[in-house]
Amino acid sequence: MNYLSELGIFVIIFQLVTAIIGSIYLYKYKNTFLKYFLIILWYIGINDLTGYILKNQFGINSVTIIYNIYYLVVFNYFMFLFRNYVTNTKHKKIIFTFIIIYSLSFLINSFVENYLVEFAITPYIIGASFVIISIIFYYIDILNSEKVLNVNRNLLFWISTGVLIYYSGNVPFRIVRNYGGELADASIQFLVLCILTIIMNLCFIIGFIWSNNKQQY
């Protein structure tokens, strides 16, 4: 087993640990829309564990469909999440438009690519970009309100920070691989992906532990 495989296993375990910590601190956010975030966390961890097992047993083509479905679910969730918490009506409408455009791009792209054996790269780039913009709208909302005074004790702030770091770092690699040819060393992308995933989950954990019991969004 090489170091990349060991790192991959560590990341999966770390994601599951994050979900466990999120479950422990559920009492802090169980009465908010963020309660569904815990379901997403468990889904991510279990999906990656399943993908790791299938990939090692049956090859890369065995995991494409579960990851295509995974991104459809996760991207739509995050856009709905930030749409729920932004107060600017114009931004709410824009994010809702993002949801429609992304979902349509996923559907239309299915006529071009076989999701059973190919990753939906273009919809991924679209969805990740829309999530990033949705987070920026959320930050604008915070800066224009008194929420900014206690933002470091806000769970959603830590979630948004982790997600923003992850996709801002990941999207450039996806674009290079999709439009600029394969990377000379695919292990570089995997290593960066693992590091970004760890940072993202660290942000989640900090949010669960550090956030106030009474969440002010």
Per residue in 116-171, pLDDT tens?
988 999 999 999 999 999 999 999 999 988 777 788 889 999 999 999 999 999 99
Terminal C-alpha separation, the chain: 45
Considering only CA atoms, which of 27, 111, 123, 17 is closest in space to residue 70?
A: 123
- Note if the pTM is more than 0.85: yes
Q: Residue range 102-116: average pLDDT?
A: 94
Please identify which residue in the block is written with the tokens 């815990």: 38
Is 176's pLDDT higher than 80? no
Long-range CB contacts for residues 47-50, cutoff 8 Å, separation at least 24: 48/11, 48/12, 48/15, 49/12, 49/16
**Six token digits for residue 147:** 């929420």
Instruction: Provide the pLDDT for residue 19.
Output: 98
**Six token digits for residue 197:** 């995933």
Rounded to whole angstroms, the Cα distance separating 85 from 94 reads 13
Is 4's pLDDT higher than 90? no
Sign of CA dihedral 92, 98, 101, 106: negative
Instruction: Provide the pLDDT for residue 177.
Output: 67
Q: Return the domain boundaries, the chain.
A: 3-210
Instruction: Provide the pLDDT for residue 182.
Output: 55
